[in-house]
């Protein structure tokens, strides 16, 4: 079994790291460069930077901030927000990102996934999916969760894989920021039907939640992304990794 990854997430708005509940009631939690440096030093496996208002505001992600973060860390770094063309992806990769995350633009234009994969390789393409459970169907949303699309989570994830996605980052909007745990049954189903890694996002409130979503008896996810518990120091990455290792879940110590 490949090592499971622990990935802190920096949700960025107006150049600052923020966190909310269900994508709402955002509060500033710190400087993104300082947080990134701290997580890299703690032993995080990767870092995700999401410019959460770029698409809503009709602009591109802050490439200057991406460059500053990249200069301060030595771990893989994924950037998303406002990426709608291959050139947008190219700018961020040149600024220091190792991967780009596409979401709303890919729902609108799925060929964007294959275009970026063809140019830079599937390993550079993370397809982020935000969805809500509506009457038993996981409906995909766009524009920071403010608009419903006509796509369904599982079929969209499979389509994205066929187009060249290297990873799927799924966020349950029903769980995001609630600290009540991940939607483990959904990650288990995604992991079973896809041949690419699945990153779990939305709902981490303690180390036990991360253990659950990464364990073979739980969510079977390949990586766990979290924000609040790391930002507020409720869970320290070295301690979390030791707990995972003690449970027999492979991690890089």
Catalytic annotation on 239? Answer: no
Q: Give the bridge partners for 172, in sequence order.
A: 131
Q: Quick count: other Cβ atoms within 10 Å of Cβ 95?
A: 20
Q: CA-CA distance, 22 to 203, in Å (whole number)?
A: 9
Tell me the two tokens of residue 92: 């961020």
Q: Which residue in the list 45, 88, 130, 176 is annotated as catalytic?
A: 130
What does the alpha-carbon distance between residue 102 and residue 241 come to, in Å, rounded to a whole number? 28
The tokens of 57 are what? 């505001």
Q: In sequence order, which ranges of 44-181 are alpha helices (DSSP H)? A: 63-70, 86-95, 104-108, 111-120, 153-163
The span from the CA of 101 to the CA of 81, in Å, is 7
Asked if 88 is an active-site residue, the reply is no
The CA dihedral of 37, 38, 40, 42, to the nearest 10 degrees, is 160
C-alpha triplet 139, 141, 146: angle, nearest 5° = 130
Q: Tokens standing for 198?
A: 């699945």
- By annotation, the residues acting in catalysis are 11, 130
């Amino acid at each position: 079994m490949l090592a499971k990854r622990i990935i802190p997430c920096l949700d960025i708005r107006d150049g600052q790291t923020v966190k909310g509940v269900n994508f709402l009631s955002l509060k500033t939690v710190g400087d993104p460069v300082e947080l990134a440096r701290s997580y890299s030093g703690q032993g995080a496996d990767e870092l995700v930077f999401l410019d959460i208002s770029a698409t809503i505001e009709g602009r591109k992600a802050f490439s200057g901030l991406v460059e500053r973060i990249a200069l301060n860390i030595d771990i893989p770094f994924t950037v998303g927000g406002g990426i709608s063309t291959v050139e947008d992806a190219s700018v961020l990769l040149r600024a220091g990102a190792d991967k780009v995350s596409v979401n709303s633009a890919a729902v609108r234009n799925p060929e964007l996934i294959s275009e970026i994969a063809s140019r830079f390789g599937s390993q550079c393409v993370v397809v982020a999916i935000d969805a809500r459970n509506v009457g038993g169907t996981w409906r995909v949303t766009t524009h920071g969760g403010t608009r419903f699309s006509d796509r369904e989570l599982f079929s969209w994830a499979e389509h994205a894989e066929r187009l060249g996605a290297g990873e799927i980052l799924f966020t349950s909007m029903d769980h995001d920021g609630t600290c009540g745990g991940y939607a483990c049954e959904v990650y288990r189903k995604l992991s079973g039907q896809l041949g690419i890694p699945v990153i779990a996002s939305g709902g981490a409130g303690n180390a036990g939640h991360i253990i659950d979503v990464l364990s073979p008896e739980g969510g079977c996810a390949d990586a766990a992304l979290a924000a609040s518990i790391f930002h507020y120091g409720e869970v320290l990455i070295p301690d979390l990794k030791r707990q995972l290792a003690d449970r027999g879940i492979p991690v890089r110590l």
